[in-house]
Amino acid sequence: MSQFGDFGSLCSQVPSYTWCNLFYRQVLPEHPKILTGLSANATSAPVGVNPVCGIPRVNTDGSLGNIADIIACGLSIFVVAAIIIHAGRRQAAVGRTEIRILFFIYLATLPLQLLTTGSLLEQGSTALVAFTALHAGLVATLFWWLLGNAIVATQVVEDGTLSSIIPLSIIGVFFFVATTYISFDVALTLTHTFGPSNPPEALSSIPLFVLTSIWPGVAALIYLGLMLYIVIGVLNEIRPVWYYVISAILFVLSQLAYFLLSKVICQGSSAKVDGSFIATLLETATVVVLYVAWRSITEEDWDNDAYYP
């Protein structure tokens, strides 16, 4: 029976589940017998720990790795870079600096995702652990900056100023350092504070689970609530509401594709692709719609509305 904070069932049932890279390294040296099936050989092992279905490492029996997600990440990099450039041209827009930082962080997660879920690096390797830990730190930071953008939109502090950027950055650094450190400790059991799992096969880490699974969902919900309050209650507008609702739907669909469709697609394609590429495309679509939503509430004819009473 899985308990709160256990990654065991996720690592076996969800192909390309990123954070499983940390647990593979954790059990490899001291409990190698736990690694069976596809995970038994680290040289060819896919992402996951004893996954039911997984994409073999690149060049294993002609495998291209997780090629679909690699392409999705590559395309997403260009899309997000274009959004950052366009956002930078809106000189007078409220929250321009803050939302560009948000997009920059998401942009930084994409090459890391390519490396951590692309089945390119050997399971258990120090390089894969390092990239995964950095990826986890950026994901936790990303959702803090998402929430921070909603806080800035309330105009409790003036956007683009040191009074806004410094507090958001300090808390963002805290999320990044804490999550990255916990990730390294889980994988390498540096201090035994956050690892190893007990029992080992449970692949358990409550702090890692909270920071990579619970915190993003909570931050996204609070962000959506605050933005709907601002758009409806303060700006008294309806059109931007649909953008925020669509972005929320896209984000939920991305998670459903990742957690529910991945195994089905993996098995149906004979372990050539899984649902991670769909999730990546939907997450990038979420970012695009968020940009459109932000742009719609910072149009010039609204600049002297609620933001500048």
Exposure of 191 by Cβ count < 10 A (0-12 exposed, 13-18 middle, 19+ buried)? exposed
Q: Write out pLDDT tens, residues 224-276.
A: 999 999 999 988 889 999 999 999 999 999 999 999 999 999 999 999 999 99
For position 118, what pLDDT does the model report?
94
- Percent above pLDDT 90 for the chain: 76
Q: What is the pLDDT of residue 275?
A: 95
Cα distance between residue 21 and residue 230, in whole Å: 40
- In a domain? residue 3: no
Q: Rounded CA gap, 150 and 160, in Å?
A: 14
HSE, side-chain direction, 13 A CA sphere, residue 110: 23
Above 60 in pLDDT, residue 25? yes
Is the pTM higher than 0.85? yes
Q: Is 250 within a domain?
A: yes
Give the total residue count for the chain: 309
In a domain, 308, yes or no: no
Residue 232: in which H helix or E strand, if any? Answer: none
- The rounded Cα 282 to chain-centroid distance in angstroms is 12
Higher pLDDT, 4 or 298: 4
- 3-state SS class at 6: strand
Q: How far is the C-alpha of 203 from the C-alpha of 181, rounded, in Å?
A: 17
Distance CA 138, CA 303 (A): 32
pLDDT in tens, 128-152: 999 999 999 999 999 999 999 999 9
| pLDDT at residue number 235 | 85
Per-residue pLDDT at 300 exceeds 60 = no
Quote the CA–CA distance of 62 and 278 in Å, as a whole number: 23
Comparing 28 with 228, which gets the higher pLDDT? 228
pLDDT of residue 307: 42
Cα angle 206, 255, 135 (rounded to 5 degrees) comes to 55
Which neighbouring-strand residues pair with 6? Answer: 204
The pLDDT confidence band at residue 195, using thresholds 50, 70 and 90, is low
Predicted local confidence at residue 306, as pLDDT: 43
Q: Give the mean pLDDT of the chain.
A: 91
Asked, for residue 242, whether it belongs to a domain, the answer is: yes
Nearest-10 crossing angle of helices 20-27, 126-153: 150
**What six digits make up the tokens of 186?**
């889980």
- Specify the pLDDT at position 308: 39
Please compute Rg for the chain using Cα positions.
Answer: 20
Residue 309 has pLDDT above 60, yes or no: no
- 268, 60 Cβ separation under 8 angstroms: no
Closest CA to 114 of 61, 68, 175, 79: 68
pLDDT band at 1 (very low <50, low <70, confident <90, very high): low
Q: List the CATH number of the domain containing 201.
A: 1.20.1070.10
In-domain check, residue 101:
yes
Handedness of CA 189, 195, 201, 207 (dihedral sign): negative
Q: Is residue 160 part of a domain?
A: yes
- pLDDT for 137 equals 98
Flag whether 307 is in a domain.
no
Tokens describing residue 215: 């915190």
Is the pLDDT assigned to residue 302 strictly greater than 50? no
End-to-end Cα separation, the chain, in angstroms? 56
A 10 A CB-CB count for 99 gives: 27
Residue 100 near residue 66, CB atoms below 8 Å: no
Decide if 2 is inside a domain: no
Please tell me whether the peptide bond between 196 and the residue prior to it is cis, using omega within 30 degrees of 0.
Answer: yes
What pLDDT is recorded for position 198? 80
pLDDT tens by residue, 69-110: 999 999 999 999 999 999 988 876 778 899 999 999 999 999
Is it the case that residue 304 has pLDDT exceeding 90? Answer: no
Domain that holds residue 14: 8-302
Split into its structural domains, the chain has a count of 1
Cα pseudo-dihedral 52, 55, 58, 60, rounded to 10: 50
